[in-house]
Structure formats: structure tokens, C-alpha cells
Amino acid sequence: MKISLKKCHFGFKELKSLGHVVSGLSLGIDKKEVAAVLLKPMPQNKKEIQSFLGFAGYYRQNNKYFASIARPLYKFCDKDTVFEITVDRVKAFESLREALTTAPLLLMPDFKLPFKLYIDASGDGLGAALHQVQIINDKPVEVPICFISRKIKPTEARYDASQMECLCLVWALEHLNYFLEGCVFEVITDFTAVKSLLNMKKPNRHMLRWQIAIQEYRGNMNIVHKDLNIHKNADGLSRWPLLNNIDNPAYVPEEASPQIPIEGISVRDLNTTFFEEARNSYTQDKNCSILCQLFNKNCKDNSLIHALDEVWKKSYDEGRFHLLDGHLSEDRTRGKVKTCIWWPMRQKDVAEYCKTCDRCQKAKKTTGKRFGNMIKIQEPSIPWEIVHVHWVTGLPPGGDRIYNACLVIVDRFSKTPIFLPCHKDDTTMDTALLICNRVVSWTGIFTNINSDSDPKFTSALWKNLHQLFGTKLSALQPTTHKLIVWLKGSSKP
């Protein structure tokens, strides 16, 4: 994880972020952001209602009765509902607007302490409030952590009271699992049937599914019943079309965008003269009839223009039909020309045109390091003058000495291979003795040995042997190593 110092703030008691005021102990609503809601009257169409509900829903965790208050306004958003302002909807709008400006401050949870989850269900919606008893000013105080709510679905409206309260518990546990998972908490409800949800002997299909869903909380969850009179607390400006003026508390002065002057405009028009010249050129081309037959038979696009070399070159020179505008690369230019015009040797002419374009050569220059000059590989004049050496490992053990590798030596002149069984962990001395006893004694001393950069060939022992014999080791020439790599790939153990 990397931290950007530009985004860090040190020594602050609280910060404003995404419409909230965040401190080390609490999470509240930015009053400057919410104050702009008081300036807006009752929405006059469905789009404004949706915008207001979207903004209010952003702060729904700070409002206890969000779903119940906003229920009349959500009916505006139904597809077949006629927009009509009623007294109930005006009251709902004003109540929700007032709830945003007076929302309680949410404190940060302490996961070492137990939680209290208040749940309640009604005919309009479901609600839950998560609280925790924390020590503030040396006194235990029950503080709010989070509020959630939603309206009930049409199918849920047919549930009885017991099912509705149990549904509220399951729904609250699913949405607050990031607070309650692994923690001890107490569920407080005003309906006694919720206490028997986990131990119900003959549950229906809904209850059985909910029992399985909350089994993970068994042992950490304690369900407590409280009287209805005691159980009372559980019952975005960017999308808000406010004018950006001084009356808006979130007013931000608009910065004037810099004006970029245009030095010149170049416009080219493909006039009728080009088509007349192309049409007249058909009579001068002896192969025109054959080409037209091929185009009609093999080409799916009949919009191609067939032109002689003189016609398209003249059009380029006069700037009337400049298909290379934009100074594209050779491949993109060829694809652009291919869609509209054809002439013999088209690909070659387009490549030459791009190479002679001054702006293309300046803008499309090649990047990276330049390639080095090619070096001629030394060829042998007699057999066993230059050899290639390579190891083949990963072979199944075999033989009297349980060999598990093979040393391959190939003569560059005659392409004769020699396969020497060996061990994968042979030392440099073992490899040197193997080559001297099994190969050099039969072929003579090599002039040049090509190998990879294996430590067995680049060690001090081999350097001394080459100095003694007057030979040369080429351990850093992978281009000369293709012969033995091909042989190794084609051979079978």
C-alpha cells in the first residue's frame, strides 16, 4: 500500500470529505452541503423528485425513519404514476428536508465493546438502529452508530406480523454484517416471536431459510424483548439542480477556460473534376474491363474508385483528394486508402508516399535504441574446428551410473552430433574430463566452442584450458546457438 502525501492531512481534528464531517470519533453530515436543501422548494416534476431522493438517500444512514418519511415521495417515481402534488407529499418533502438538517451525529464503533441492534417492522417498511454504549466524559452513554431502513416489497406486504419482524431481523443482520460479524451484540425488539426464530421446531419455508441465514450469529447474539413505549429509536447535492450562485452555500466560482487561438483552417473538397478524370481514365486503361469484372465478382464493397497512376498523383499534388490528412502511419494510411480508391501497386505507392512526407518523418520517428551492425558468423573450413555444446537435463535416470542428463556436442561443419551421458550436478572438472576423454581424444582440439553462459564453461578452469590449447570460447552469442537448440528439440531420449 502506498500513501500519497498530497492527499494526507496531519494535525486536523476533523475533515470534510464526500459531504461528511469525519473525525477520529464521529461521522456527521456537512451542514454546508445540507443547508442548500432549505433553498429549494417542492419539486415540480418526476426528475426533480428523483434527484432529491437520490441526494437524501446518500445520508440515509444518519436518519432513523428515512424509509417511512420518504415513502409518499417514492410513489412519484413509479412508472405509471401521474405527477400530482398532495398535502401528504408536501409534508413528506418538508419532513425529509428537516431530517437532513437535524440528523444525529454518528460515532465510530469500538469493536471491543458489545453492540445493541434495535429492529422494528411496520406496514410501511423495515427499520434498524445500531447503537453502542461508550464511555464519554467518564460516563457510559448509548450512542448511535448507523441507521438503515427500507420500504417493504409488494410480496412482503402479505406477511403476517411474525414473519415481518423476523424478516426485519434477517435483513438487518445482512446489511450490518461488517459491524456485527465476530462481535457480541444484543437484538432489541418489541415482538416476542422474534426470540423463538432460532429455536422454532416447525418453521415454514420462509422461517427455515431465515434460520439457516443467521446461524453464524448463534452464540454471539442475544434477543431481548422491550415494551413498545421504550422501543422508539428503530422505527446528494451533485445530483440536486441548484443554481451555482452566491445564494447557494456550496457556491464555487467558475473559472474561465483559456481561449486557444486558431492560426488557420484547411478545408479540402472533393469536387466533380476528380470523378470526371477518373471516369475518363477508364477508356485509356486496356485492363479496365477485366478489373471491373474482378471487382464485381470478388469485392463486397462496390464504392471503390479505380484510377490510373496519373489521376491519383495529380489529385495528391493539387490537394483535392489528400487521403493522408492527419499524417497517419503507413498501416493506417493504407487502410484508409483501401476503403475508397484502388490503383495498381497501391501498397507500394502508399509506402513511398509516407516515406517522402516531411511531417510524417518528423512526427513518426522511430524510438528506442538503434540496432547494431550485423556481424558475420565465422564458418569452419574443416570438421571439428567449431563445435556447439549444450546440456539436456530433466531426463529419467538410467544406465549403470544412473545418468540423468546428456551433454550434446555438434560439429558445425558436418552437423555430426555426439551425445554423452552425464549427471546434472557434475562439476566443471567432470565436464572438462568428459569432453577431453570422450571427444578430444577422437576429434582433436577444437578451435572455437559455442555455448550458453553456463558457469561450467565460464569458470577459471575453462579459461586456463583455452589459454593452454590456444582455443576460443564464444559463450555470449545466442544467434549461433540455433543449430544445437534445434537438434535438442528434435531428438528423443
> Each residue of 406-428: pLDDT tens digit?
888 889 888 888 999 999 888 88
- The CATH class of the 386-490 domain is alpha beta
* CATH 3.30.420.10, domain 109-235, yes or no: yes
At 273 the pLDDT is 66
Would the pLDDT of 199 be above 80?
Answer: no
Residues 323, 301: Cα–Cα separation, whole Å: 18
What one-character DSSP code corresponds to residue 406? Answer: E
Average pLDDT, whole number, for the chain? 72
What is the DSSP pairing of strand 20-23 with strand 125-136? unpaired
CA distance 147 to 427: 73
Average pLDDT over residues 457-464: 70
CA distance 216 to 214: 5
Q: Name the residue among 2, 28, 31 with its Cα closest to residue 13.
A: 28
Place of cell 491519383: 312
The secondary structure element, H or E, covering residue 352 is: helix 346-356
Residue 58 to residues 50, 241, 362, 423: CA-CA distances in angstroms? 12, 16, 53, 71
Q: Interior CA angle at 174 toward 168 and 176, to 5°? A: 95
321-324: long-range pairs with CB below 8 Å, 24+: 321/268, 321/270, 321/274, 322/268, 324/353, 324/354, 324/357
The SS3 assignment for 394 reads coil
- Provide φ and ψ at 148, rounded to 5°: -135, 150
What string of DSSP letters covers 93-105? HHHHHHHHHTPPP
The C-alpha cell of 452 is what?
550458453
Classify each residue of 174-199 as buried b or exposed e, where b means 16 or more C-beta atoms within 10 Å of its C-beta: ebbeebbeebebebbbbbebbeebee
Residues 6+ apart with CB under 8 A from 82: none
Identify the CA nearest to 424 among candidates 391, 400, 448. Answer: 391
Residue 22's DSSP bridge partners are: 15, 27
225-243 pLDDT, tens per residue? 876 555 444 443 333 334 4
> What does DSSP say about strands 341-342 and 305-306: parallel, antiparallel, or unpaired?
parallel
Position 248 scores a pLDDT of 40
H-assigned helices in 126-247: 161-175, 177-180, 205-213
Q: Across residues 291-310, what is the average pLDDT?
A: 60
- Domain spanning 12-105, CATH class: alpha beta
What pLDDT, on a 0 to 100 scale, did the predictor assign at position 479? Answer: 54
Average pLDDT rounded to a whole number, residues 15-36? 62
Residue 421 has what pLDDT?
92
3-state secondary structure of 397: coil
Given a contact cutoff of 8 angstroms between Cβ atoms, the answer to whether 220 and 182 are in contact is: yes
For the ranges 129-143, 239-253, 342-356, 370-384, which has the lowest average pLDDT?
239-253
Domain ranges of the chain: 12-105, 109-235, 272-362, 386-490
Domains 12-105 and 109-235 share a fold: no
Beta-carbon contacts of residue 215 (< 8 Å; ≥ 6 apart) = 198
Q: What is the pLDDT of residues 184-198, one digit of tens each?
A: 999 988 887 777 777
Of the candidate ranges 5-9, 171-175, 216-220, 383-387, the one whose mean pLDDT is the lowest: 5-9
Measured distance CA(27)–CA(21) in Å, rounded:
6
Comparing 324 with 2, the larger pLDDT belongs to: 2
For the chain, the straight-line distance linking the first and the last C-alpha, in angstroms and rounded, comes to 50
- Tracing cell 417492522 back to the chain, one arrives at 121
Closest CA to 167 of 128, 137, 199: 128
| DSSP-based three-state secondary structure for 224 | strand
Q: Determine the Cα–Cα distance for residues 81 and 240; give it in Å rounded to an integer.
A: 22
pLDDT at 300: 55
> Residue 242, Cα to own-chain centre: how many angstroms?
34
